[in-house]
Amino acid sequence: MHRNLLLAVSVTALALSGPAGARDLSSLVPADIKEKGYIEVVTDPSFGPPWNYHPGTDQTVYEGIDPDIAKGISERLGVEIRFVSLAFAGIVPAIRAGRYDMVMVGMTTTEERTKVIDLVDYAVDSNAILVQAGNPLAIKSPQDLCGKTASAVIGSAQFAILQEVSAGCDKPITISTFPAKSDAFLQVETKRADATIDGYIVSGYLSGNGTFASKGIEAVFTKDFAGKPLGIGLAKEKAALRDAVAAAIDDMIADGTYTKIFAKWGTADMALKKAEINNFQLGKK
């Protein structure tokens, strides 16, 4: 379902009083943001934990890596951060159109995306193949998906991966697309699809907390997927805000806040030593 809910969330509470050791980077905030008084961030909470999700029925409450990172950015730049919920397929067009200031949704930094928006890389991720519990089709690699059915989120990096793998198959993959990650998961859960692909970070988290087991889903972790950066996206016209956000993340890395956030969500090995900008090669061997 398409959602567009403007929500001021709890990450704004400490905007003007950062943690001990955090640098005051408010001088980097562009004038239009200072005048408005907040940074409007678009996300898709249906992508679920650990990136950004509603932990309960109250849709004004967000939890995950992105809200925690957003809180750190808010504290250092001295402005509120407000989240807007939107279906994933509409996010990049909305950023390009200037409807929102930036996107935080664990979005993969790809060469194609860096041509139309800027991305501040803030993590490295890979992928895993999600199959039915017990892996009845013995799927061990992307090539094992040839001739099988797979689900994917429209416009996602995983959809592009499935298309690329399918192009090299003797018998192509039958790919069904959906607006939300939960829909792609449901296809595997209900055995209407043989598999889907999702990020390594998400797959590890949901495997570890028992969510996949409860849905009859199993994650297949393979070295066949190259590491890819994840970025916070902004319109090309918002270079000043982009640089301010990168500086805030670098400060979080320097004072240890950043590492603590990723460790809290069980993904410390995916953290970076420096915020990169549009480095879609980041993480590749």
Is the distance from CB of 109 to CB of 282 less than 8 angstroms?
yes
Digit-by-digit pLDDT tens for the chain (285 residues) are 333 333 333 333 333 344 656 789 999 999 999 999 999 999 999 877 899 999 888 888 899 999 999 999 999 999 999 999 998 889 999 999 999 999 999 888 989 999 999 999 988 888 999 999 999 999 999 999 999 999 999 888 899 999 999 999 999 999 999 988 889 999 999 999 999 999 888 898 889 888 999 999 999 999 898 888 899 999 999 999 999 999 999 999 999 999 999 888 887 666 678 898 998 876 544
pLDDT of residue 113: 93
Strand order in the sheet with 217-221: 174-178, 149-153, 195-199, 127-132, 217-221
pLDDT of residue 269: 67
| DSSP codes, 40-66 | EEEE-GGGBTTTBB-SSS-TT--BSHH
Residues of the chain with CATH 3.40.190.10: 5-125+227-277, 127-221
Q: Which CATH class is domain 5-125+227-277?
A: alpha beta
pLDDT of residue 46: 82
- CATH number attached to the domain at 127-221: 3.40.190.10
**How far apart, in whole angstroms, are the C-alpha atoms of residue 245 and residue 248?**
5
Cis? peptide before 50, omega within 30° of 0: yes
pLDDT of residue 21: 67
Residues 6+ apart with CB under 8 A from 164: none
pLDDT of residue 14: 35
**How far apart, in whole angstroms, are the C-alpha atoms of residue 100 and residue 98?**
5
pLDDT of residue 4: 36
pLDDT of residue 131: 98
